């Protein structure tokens, strides 16, 4: 019996919605990363981007457990001396909720060209309104 290998011409992509207000940020991110990679499909192939599109809504209502709101830090560096910027999770959740969820999901994808292609299929919105009604996305339960 030969091993099945998915071809990128034969991929059938679906659209899924995940509500971030229903569960913790890490649970939402792992579910989204699994769908983006295509691991939920029986035709999963590691070297092909065979995943589906994911829309995450209510990013501003994401929950963090423990003391993560004040202890967890997010870092950015401009590339210049003294250009390190540090923000805690409560600041990120109040000002930049989309970026916080995107960082959590993209950190669980491969860090190469394939992972960047998978990351382009992720859409994050801070409230319930999104622009992809025409694609008829399916609500995904966590």
Q: Is the pTM of this model over 0.75?
A: yes
Domain count, the chain: 1
In a domain, 73, yes or no: no
Domain assignment present for residue 79? The answer is no
Domain assignment present for 66: no
pLDDT digits (tens, 9 = 90+) for 103-140: 999 999 999 999 999 999 999 999 999 999 999 999 99
Q: Is 91 exposed, middle or buried (0-12, 13-18, 19+ CB in 10 A)?
A: middle
Which pLDDT does position 1 carry in this prediction?
A: 80
Q: For residue 24, which of 55, 68, 54 has the smallest C-alpha distance?
A: 68
Range of the domain at 46: 13-60+98-139
Q: Is residue 46 part of a domain?
A: yes
CATH number at residue 28: 3.90.1180.10
**Adjacent-strand bridge partners of 56:** 18, 124
Is residue 68, in this structure, part of any structural domain at all? no
Q: Is residue 83 part of a domain?
A: no
Look over the chain and give the mean of its residue pLDDT values, rounded to a whole number: 95
Assess if residue 76 is contained within a domain: no
Could you tell me if residue 54 is inside a domain? yes
45 pLDDT tier (thresholds 50, 70, 90): very high
DSSP class per residue in the chain: -PPP---GGG----EEEEEGGGSBHHHHHHHHHHHHHTTTSTT--TTS----EEEEE-GGG-B--TTHHHH-EEEEE-SSTT-EEEEEHHHHHHH-HHHHHHHHHHTTS-SSHHHHHHHTTEEE-SSS--S-GGG-PEEPP-
Find, among 33, 38, 24, 16, the residue nearest to 105 by Cα.
33
């Amino acid at each position: 019996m030969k091993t099945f290998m998915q071809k990128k011409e034969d991929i059938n992509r679906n659209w899924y919605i995940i509500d971030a207000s229903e569960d913790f940020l890490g649970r939402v991110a792992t579910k989204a990363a699994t769908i983006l990679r295509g691991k939920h499909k029986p035709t999963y192939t590691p070297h092909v981007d065979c995943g589906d599109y994911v829309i995450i809504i209510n990013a501003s209502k994401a929950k963090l457990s423990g003391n993560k709101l004040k202890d967890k830090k997010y870092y950015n560096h401009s590339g210049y001396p003294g250009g390190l910027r540090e923000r805690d999770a409560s600041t990120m959740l109040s000002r930049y909720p989309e970026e916080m969820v995107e960082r959590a999901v993209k950190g669980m994808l491969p860090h190469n060209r394939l992972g960047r292609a998978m990351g382009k299929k992720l859409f994050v919105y801070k409230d319930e309104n999104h622009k992809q009604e025409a694609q008829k996305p399916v609500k995904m339960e966590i």
